[in-house]
Structure 1
Amino acid sequence: MSSILITGASKGVGRATAAELAKRGHRVIATARDPRSLDGLDVAERLRLDVTDQASVDAAIKDAGEIDTLISNAGAIFAAAVEASPLDEIERLYSHNTVGAIRVTQAVLPQMRQRNKGRLIFVSSVGGRTVHPSQAAYGATKWALEAFGETLALELAGFGVDVTLAEPGPISSGALDDVLSYRLSDDPYAALLDGPGIPAEMMSSPEQVAAVLADLVESPEVPLRVPVGPVAEHVINARNSAPWDRPFVLG
């Protein structure tokens, strides 16, 4: 049995992962900005943790005790063309998706290094390897997270701490149903941004992603990057085989 702390466990992938790991017999510490949103989760502990608040992170890690695995899942998103993206909203996304993940990582690493054992699982995205119109800010936070994760894998190789970046494709968690968006007046980018949406059959369910994350917790060894779901595998394979000297558009 492992002791696993999950950020962003109030809904979607985080909540499904907490439930899956608890079902498998692990000690799960589920965290969220509002611990009341964790009601009904049958886990060992439910703690308040806001990844953008250092005091909140420090208190949660102290209360959690020994942590074998961190699943860094908390994240936010908005949609906008680059020209229409408010700078304070870009900063908010970086604070949540990138800096927040590193803040929690810094808090758990000392105990993992002292034990010479631990695992960091970052929930990245296919958007951390590719780009899409209207998703520049979100994608940039995930590309940055990928850089931090890969660097951590190098730095921690001698300390017994594994690092893996899980890269799901679109997920039917509801997070994409009504995404916060920003437009310019007389929007010149409307043709790029107004699409039919992602077909349901192309989405992974939160439970499918949770099963992959739980397997990563239990695996004796983990790769640095793990595409999650057939769409992610297809898109990342296509990106890897395409030239890097021009923007990549998935046909």
Structure 2
Amino acid sequence: MSRILITGSSKGLGRATALELARRGHEVIATARKVETLADLPVAQRLSLDVTSEASVRRAVEQAGRVDVLINNAAEIAVAPLESIPFEEVRNLYDINVFGALRMIQAVTPAMRERRAGTVVNISSVVGRVSLPLTGVYSSTKWALEALSESLRLELGHFGVRVVLVEPGEIGTGALDAPRAYFGENDPYLPLKAERQFRPREKMTPPETIARTIADAVEAPEQRFRWPAGADAEALLALRAKLDDPAFDTALRSAIKLQW
């Protein structure tokens, strides 16, 4: 079985993934900023890790020892129009969602390269392929992660290291119940915000379902790169692949009931 380090394991998808991989017999190294939030996880190792801190990343990787699989899961989301989202929030999202993943990659993959074995799993999103209004910055971080992963796949593949992208749709973790949002009292985008309400959690894909896809991707013998996860992600990406831009725009507006 593999030793698997997962970032952002304290809740939601990261926790579900840790549980699923531990259930399958893997040695899971669960990490979170506050290590006490991992106390009840039945895993091989629990470590404090802040992906925005190079010192924290370096310390956690040293404590983890050999890592066969890195799962870059830590991420945050914010909702706002692009014309007014604070740049402090833009920097925060990139620091966690993109730079955090890259910090982990730079810390873990040299040993994989030397062993000529290992797997990097980057948790992207369907919005890493299909951007939606009011989550443009979050989407852009996932598009960036997709670009990094495509390059990394070619760079590390030469040394026998796999790179995998998992692309979930909406996940019922609670993260979308009340995301950070930036709107003024008389914001002209408030009508769009009203249209872009997220579905109730119970109508989203359960995190356990996405966790099973992640675990399948880790264990898969084939060199498959992209793994859409959830029925909504599979349907949306299938439409994106077969329709031109005007036709897809019409289909997307219909799917998310957007009149804007």
TM-score if structure 1 supplies the norm length? 0.96
Alignment of 1:176-195 (within 5 A): 176-195=176-195
CA positional deviation for 1:133: 1.1
Matched, 1:223 2:238: no
* 2:29 aligned counterpart, secondary structure: strand
Letter paired with 1:45? Q
SS class of match (1:217): helix
Superposition pairs for residues 1-251 of structure 1, below 5 Å?
Answer: 1-195=1-195, 196-200=197-201, 202-244=203-245, 248=249, 250=252, 251=254
Q: CA offset at residue 209 of structure 1?
A: 0.7
Counterpart residue identity of residue 83, structure 2: E
Q: Deviations over 1:210-242 (max 9, x none)?
A: 111111111112411111011001111112223
- Structure 1 counterpart SS, 2:215: helix
Coordinate RMSD, CA, aligned: 1.5
Paired with 2:60 and 2:96, the residues of 1 have a C-alpha distance of 17
The answer to whether the 8 A contact 1:120-1:162 is kept is yes
Check conservation: 1:202, 1:231, Cα contact below 8 A.
Answer: no
Alignment-mate amino acid for residue 135 of structure 2: Q
Query: Aligned residue pairs: how many?
Result: 251
Q: Which amino acid letter does the alignment assign opposite residue 204 of structure 1? A: T
Q: Percent identity?
A: 49
The range that moved more, 168-177 or 241-250, is 241-250
Consecutive unaligned residues in structure 1, runs of 5 or more: none
Structure 1 stretch displaced more, 214-223 or 6-15: 214-223
Q: Distance in 1 between matches of 2:117 and 2:27?
A: 17
**Structure 1 residue aligned with 2:258:** none
Counterparts of 2:103 and 2:208, CA distance in 1 = 27
CA distance in 2, matches of 1:158, 1:226: 21
Q: Distance in 2 between matches of 1:200 and 1:101?
A: 26
2-side partners of 1:112 and 1:214: how far apart? 19
Aligned structure 1 segments of 4 or more residues deviating by more than 3 angstroms? 199-202, 244-249
Contact 1:130–1:248 (Cα < 8 Å) also in 2: no
| Structure 2 residues not aligned, in runs of 5+ | 255-260
In the alignment, the residues of structure 2 paired with residue 141 and residue 171 of structure 1 have an alpha-carbon distance, to the nearest angstrom, of: 17
